[in-house]
Amino acid sequence: MRICSADIKKIQQINTINKNNHKNHLGIADTRTFEYNKYSNYSAENVKAKFLPSFQGYRKIGRTYLEDKENGIYVPADIRRNKIGDFVSLKLTIGKDVAGYLDMICDSIFPEEKYVLTQPLNNIPEIRHLRSILGDKYSGIGTALIKTAIQESCNNGGFGNLWLKSEKGYARTLSDYRSDENPIPFYYKVGFRSPDPDIDKFIEKCIKETNYYALPDSTLLLLTPEARNNWIKKLIENPIIKFKDNPIIA
């Protein structure tokens, strides 16, 4: 049974079951809250019971480098991963400090069938949460996590495609929580666009004029084929994690 068949609501530290064995059961959610309302077969308690063997903490799967803003030097950062069914959580760490994290569902259905896509609609991984925690000290945290998510998409049959629903205060990218923060400019910077041409033109205009307050509070975004190809070409030369198969460049 895949995790995407489960109803996960308000799970906090889901796999921190045994307080005396906290190191071995490091919470996949830490202090975060997940609300996946579209899944209904299992309650949170059933998910804990059925998937507990998979909740064994994050494992190191790759390495990248981030720029130390104060010293202007690059420091190594490890990518750690926990996967339960189709749910993947990526954590970026510098030493023992968590610099950022990204959560995604690998088997997700793109919700807008009216848009013509280059790949099958039922196999585009969805980013559910992204946050940079040490963004005031290091640059490139969000970009490194997006690049790793693209490689995860390739390894899980998504061909490097990604989509997400950008919302204020939800898919956050700054180190400090701000309810008025809008992450759309960041996502546009790394290659996401609205599949609706009218909304896309409006967002581009707002970003160009730095009129961030006029940006929509919530909108659907899709990684463009051009951005996908450009990232994959760079990742082939300098991968963050190991590609399972040779990625396809359109």
Residue 32 lies in a domain: yes
No. of H helices and E strands in the chain?
5, 9
Last residue of a domain, one of 38, 57, 76: 57
Of 64-68, 164-168, 190-194, 234-238, give the lowest mean pLDDT range. Answer: 164-168
pLDDT digits (tens, 9 = 90+) for 114-143: 555 555 555 689 998 898 889 889 999 999
Q: Which residue has the higher pLDDT, 233 or 53?
A: 233
Same domain assignment for residues 64 and 41: no
Please say if the pLDDT value at position 177 is more than 90.
Answer: no
Range of the domain at 17: 1-57
Give the mean pLDDT of the chain: 76
The per-residue pLDDT for 213 is 85
Same domain assignment for residues 52 and 70: no
What is the pLDDT averaged over residues 39-45?
40
pLDDT digits (tens, 9 = 90+) for 18-32: 334 433 333 334 333
The per-residue pLDDT for 1 is 33
Residue 249 lies in a domain: no
The per-residue pLDDT for 58 is 87
Of the candidates 128, 109, 106, the one whose C-alpha atom is nearest the C-alpha of residue 29 is 128
Please say if the pLDDT value at position 3 is more than 80.
Answer: no
Same domain assignment for residues 79 and 203: yes
Which tokens sit at 5? 């068949």
Last residue of a domain, one of 57, 74, 104: 57
Residue 155 lies in a domain: yes
The per-residue pLDDT for 124 is 83
Q: Which residue has the higher pLDDT, 48 or 16?
A: 48
Residue 246 lies in a domain: no
Please say if the pLDDT value at position 221 is more than 60.
Answer: yes
Which tokens sit at 140? 């490139």
CB atoms within 10 A of CB 117: 15
For residue 226, what is the domain's CATH number?
Answer: 3.40.630
Residue 89 lies in a domain: yes
Residue 243 lies in a domain: no
What is the pLDDT averaged over residues 66-75?
94
Same domain assignment for residues 132 and 226: yes
Q: Whole-prediction pTM value?
A: 0.74
Our CA angle for 156, 35, 164, nearest 5°, is: 45
Q: Domain tally for the chain?
A: 2
Same domain assignment for residues 148 and 159: yes
Same domain assignment for residues 104 and 228: yes
Same domain assignment for residues 41 and 63: no
Same domain assignment for residues 52 and 6: yes
Same domain assignment for residues 67 and 152: yes
Residue 49 lies in a domain: yes
Same domain assignment for residues 148 and 30: no
**Spatial distance between the Cα atoms of 134 and 219, rounded to a whole number of angstroms:** 26
Confidence grade of residue 46 (pLDDT, cut at 50, 70, 90): very low
Question: What is the three-state SS of 171-219?
Answer: CCCCCCCCCCCCCHHHHHHHCEECCCHHHHHHHHHHHHCCCHHHCCCEE
**Spatial distance between the Cα atoms of 249 and 45, rounded to a whole number of angstroms:** 42
Per the CB < 8 A criterion, the answer to whether 142 and 230 are in contact is no
Same domain assignment for residues 107 and 184: yes
Count Cβ atoms within 10 A of the Cβ of residue 73 and give its class: 0-12 exposed, 13-18 middle, 19 or more buried. exposed
Same domain assignment for residues 147 and 36: no
The per-residue pLDDT for 72 is 92
**Backbone φ, ψ for residue 143 (5° rounding):** -65, -45
Last residue of a domain, one of 41, 57, 73: 57
Residue 16 lies in a domain: yes
